[in-house]
Structure 1
């Protein structure tokens, strides 16, 4: 068992850190809102620290899951940041969905200070985190990944090294592009089925066993038909992720017309009051017959 620090106890980080503790690891947590860290300690065995640097002082592995590039800089750099107190030859594993650029910047800084860095964004949503069945896309050196792999098993059903530093974040961008397009497709399919007078639920149950099958279709069509969106991955989070995608696309020359259109549709959902609705709420823009 390892000494581990976990930074960021949001909707994803809280259960992920819990799985580490339940697996027998010695876990110290840090969260910007201390009350959340105190609650976590009451629920799981472990300790909390009042600053990132204090959390990582004895850690072999440091896991981090915060909001964006700026949040990541805030918890890693500076006198109270994690990087100021990382143990030599330890590993910082960043589960934040962030830019590939900051992953490379932090990896370079980590190397200069004598420890390793992996970018390891996750997919599977809050339910995946709670159930310990996340998919993790990793960027970094193979030997470092080999060291961390057994720890990731605590909350992952699948993890894979995708290439050098930044490759994990790039793969997560691919993931978000697919999800946005799929959900818009499912929304339009449900709208078309109802407009044509079909039993939309029956149609989805049939086509989900054929070539149209996808996780989004099978797990979201019933709640989409019911107009239920108070769960899952929030629209405002997806738009944050899309902004990262578009920044990267401007650098690499990728052309993403459908993703850009879906982002516009999510902007409309936000105007409807749906910033915290699940990403399947794209269907809310379309007239759904009851």
Structure 2
């Protein structure tokens, strides 16, 4: 199977490298960042000088892009040059309305669009340890099984592109809100004189334990701002979820508060740091750092 990956940043790059290390696939990559492509080339992918050339002969085009606008712009550019039978699989985090638009554009051009947003972190994706949330034409989804099995450890088939993308938004909406409250809880614990070690151990034995406390709490304590998932991207995803909720007349005051926290962190100039930088709102930057 020939796969083209458009957008090989943190998550897209991890997926491209995961696929490129399998002998089942020939992987071509394109990204404006030559450094991002070089990292994929080191794993066995073929870099391309431009997006259109990258898609020549592709069975599947995977798009992993940071904004809904860029997703639709890229699909509009790709559709006129894609060969008949080429499937577009978008692994970006987009809202249901954008997914529906991408699907309609693809159908109008006689092409197939599949939404397949991903869970967890780039580190998990590098090892194929992510969940995949897929929706779209079911016969096509079945044909993609070999690629999906290599990409992740479990695929959840939501049926439609709207449902798949909505679930991903809900997942990030809950997860990023959890990061915000985790940062506040950590600040309270440290102020009370609880050691980082005791906080981490005891929290894991309570109902407050979560994926975020397991994965991101150590980064908080080490003041590690390396952008595995940046503040601006987190704010974008939570904003899309809040907007979708408002369109459906569903009140989401807690999630809206988390969005305000993320936007406040971004406004202070930390938008490109990992989402754990939300703890910078709770006190001195070095308050929880281990010696």
Relative to the length of structure 1, the TM-score reads 0.89
Whole-angstrom CA distance in 1 between matches of 2:250 and 2:71: 26
Question: What secondary structure does 2:190 align onto?
Answer: helix
In the alignment, is the contact (CA less than 8 A) between 1:201 and 1:222 conserved in 2?
no
Q: Which residue of 2 aligns with 1:58?
A: 57
> 1:287 aligned to 280, 283, 290, which one?
283
Question: For 1:191-217, what per-residue CA distance to the aligned partner results, in whole angstroms no more than 9, with x for missing partners?
Answer: 222222223421321231332221111
Deviation at 1:89, TM superposition (A): 2.8
SS of corresponding position for 1:265: helix
- Deviations 1:72-123 (Å, cap 9, x if unpaired)? 123221xxx2211223233210011122212111212222333321111112
Q: Sort the Cα spacing of 1:200 and 1:26 in 2 relative to 1 into closer, same or farther, 3 A.
A: closer
Task: Report SS of the residue matched to 1:273.
Answer: helix
Matched, 1:94 2:90: yes
Corresponding residue of 2:121: 125
In the other structure, the counterpart of 2:157 is 161
Secondary structure, counterpart of 1:74 in structure 2: helix
Aligned-partner Cα distance in 1 for 2:209–2:113: 36
Is 1:178 matched up with 2:177? Answer: no
Contact residue 95 and residue 165 of structure 2 kept, 8 A = yes
Q: What is the alpha-carbon distance in structure 1 between the residues aligned to residue 39 and residue 258 of structure 2?
A: 37
Native 8 Å contact 2:95 2:169 kept in 1:
no
User: Would you say 1:16 and 2:12 are equivalent positions?
Assistant: no
Write the distance in 2 (CA, Å) between the matches of 1:115 and 1:54.
Answer: 18
Q: Which runs of 5+ in 2 are unaligned?
A: none
Deviation at 1:53, TM superposition (A): 3.0
Distance across 2 between alignment mates of 1:42 and 1:164: 33
RMSD: 2.1
Name 2:27's counterpart in structure 1: 27
CA distance in 1, matches of 2:2, 2:247: 39
TM-score (normalised: structure 2): 0.89
CA contact (8 A) 2:4 2:27 kept: yes
Structure 2: how far apart are the matches of 1:45 and 1:153?
A: 19
Check if 1:105 corresponds to 2:104.
no
The more displaced of 186-195 and 256-265 is: 186-195
- Residues 1:135 and 2:131 aligned together: yes
Give the SS at the match of 1:237: helix
Name the CA distance, whole Å, in 2 between partners of 1:187 and 1:40. 32
Between the aligned partners of 1:266 and 1:90, the Cα distance in structure 2 is 38
Supply the distance in 1 between the matched residues of 2:8 and 2:98 (Cα, whole angstroms): 21
Return 5+ residue gaps in structure 1 as ranges: none
Matches of 2:268 and 2:33, distance apart in 1: 30
Task: Output the CA distance in 2 between the equivalents of 1:258 and 1:246.
Answer: 10
2:81 is aligned with 1:85: yes
Deviation string, structure 1 residues 178-236 (Cα, Å, up to 9, x no partner): 11221122122212222222234213212313322211112222332333322421101
Q: What's 2:74 paired with?
A: 75
In structure 1, which of residues 244, 248, 251 is the aligned counterpart of residue 247 of structure 2?
A: 251
Structure 1 residue 151, shift from structure 2 partner: 0.1
SS class of match (1:92):
strand
